[in-house]
A and B are shown apart, each in its own frame.
Chain A
Amino acid sequence: MEQKEYFSSRWALLLAALGMAIGTGNIWRFPRIVAQNGGAVFLIPWVIFLFLWSIPLLITELSIGKSTRLGPVGAFGKLIGKKYCWMGGFVGFCTMAIMFYYSVVMGWCVKYFFAAIAGDLNNINGLEFWNKFSAGQFQPILFHFIAISIGAIILFKGVVKGLERANKILIPSLVALIIIGALRALTLDGAASGLNFLFNPEWKQLLNHQVWLNALTQSAWSTGAGWGLLLTYGVYMKKREDIVLNSFITGFGNNSASLLVGIMIFPAVFALAPQMNVVAEEIISEVGPANTGMAFIWIPVLFSKFSGGQFFTAIFFLALSFAALSSLLAMIEMVTRILMDIGLSRQKSIVMVWFTGFLLGIPSAISLSFFGNQDWAWGIGLMVSGFLFASAVKIYGAKNFREKIINQLGNDINIGKWYEIVIKYIIPIEFAVLIIWWFWQSISWSKNWWNPFDTYSLGTCLFQWLIVIIVFLIFNKKIYRKIFRTDN
């Protein structure tokens, strides 16, 4: 097996972890979900679930990666036994399936960034522009190719020379871009009404179960907990590197970025919407085709209504592109790590991921319906992944795991017994409630809820998950032998 690299410092690891966590979900999804769920009141369960889902899973992932020095598939096998490689296989496949269409999303962001610079987004009808772009198949494929190529080229150079260097530029630039955007938004006339909407609590919404379930979903998706990505970065941690404090910084950092984005988006939309005679709440809440509503349909239109709008539209889409790239890098690295674990070189693995990533992303690039189906099936699949991580710890023994794997030499702070309770009881309950809720919703959306070929059905989720689980169960032994070079 090839000599492994290590992050050159703690700060390099933290930048990579923050890059992994801060993605399009912070900029694109967070404002919409806050607007749909009672504004400030949503922030309460969102913070609670940071401690009851995201941070414990981030700690789990980092510990498993650091202790096993293997990607998700091998890590599960090494930690809890050869019978369980399939669990890591599901986690890895789920994130890989997301990588295919996430590269398409980054392609959209890059396209809109260039369109903003060229002035093509000035005084447009947002929906018409989007429809024209997404209906023409060449451009979505081209920009998807550009996106996955940028990621692959960066990682071709390795963890230190590629990933680390890229994140040193991407994350500070991303934060700077959002701060510039937020400062401009706050100086617009009427910006205060946006802040008022964002932070004014509708207390009665606290009794609404949907607010809590949406907060849990947002926390799970946005922090990248349970995706196998931080596990992969854990592989490159130095032996005496901290696990617990770094996980807390990653979780808090991700939520801080979301709030900063909220402070940019809400004042801007509330200040500019009246000029267009549209209702600000409706714009932020709008789902739109493939969830593009606010970001791709309305931002270009609204931002063209103030002086310097073209510049700030470009800044918005550059920030979105940077956020997408830093997360895409983590996904490509995870798949690469799995291939390296079975004996391939980094270069060979990257080329394979590049090629298959481009090829299997094409259906999502040319069909929003396919894109939506994948987003639905594997987005919910991430909940299963999170549950599988918690199950792995339970199988290993939560107490043992906390004492022998997490609370090790090099930790700045150790994790207390509350971790065991969260992993053993709370995460499985959260998983069960979430999965039932999402499936119950999907049944109410469509009469064809059982149909595996329906875009947003319960059937399509179960069908796709089952295929992956069955395939990994069949090849479980073979995969284990390949990774651990054993005949048993």
Chain B
Amino acid sequence: METDAVLMMMLSLGLIWGGFFYTLRLAIKKEQLKQQLNKHEKIS
């Protein structure tokens, strides 16, 4: 593969797949946080 193609592949995969996994990870974290808060609310 040519260097330009390799760079472009890394850039587009990084941006699009990276964007997807970043936003998904953020959602997972927020859901965990919400669950913890719910537990605390129930206990208190």
Which residues of A approach B to under 8 Å, CB–CB? 10, 14, 40, 43, 47, 192, 195-196, 198-201, 242, 245-246, 248-249, 252-253, 255-256, 259, 412-413
Contacts and interface: CB of A to CB of B under 8 A. Distances in A.
Interface string B1-33: 110111011001101110110011011001100
B16 A242 contact: no
A253 B20 contact: yes
7 contacts: A196-B1, A196-B5, A199-B9, A242-B27, A246-B27, A256-B19, A412-B27
B17 A40 contact: no
Nearest to B15: A47
A73 to B, nearest CB: 31
B26 A40 contact: no
A195 B20 contact: no
Contact of B20 (A192, A242, A246, A256): A256
Contacts of B26: 245, 412-413
Nearest to B10: A199
Instruction: Determine which residue in A40, A196, A252 has the highest number of CB atoms from chain B within 10 A of its CB, and name it.
Output: A252
Interface of chain B: mostly helix, strand, loop or mixed: helix
A200 B17 contact: no
A245 B5 contact: no
A259 B12 contact: yes
Given A10-B31, A256-B17, A259-B17, A248 B2 contact: no
A40 B27 contact: no
Contact of A255 (B6, B9, B16, B31): B16
B16 A252 contact: yes
B24 A249 contact: yes
A253 B9 CA distance: 17
A353 B30 CA distance: 38
Contact of B4 (A198, A200, A255): A200
A47 B11 CA distance: 12
A14 B23 CA distance: 12
A47 B9 contact: no
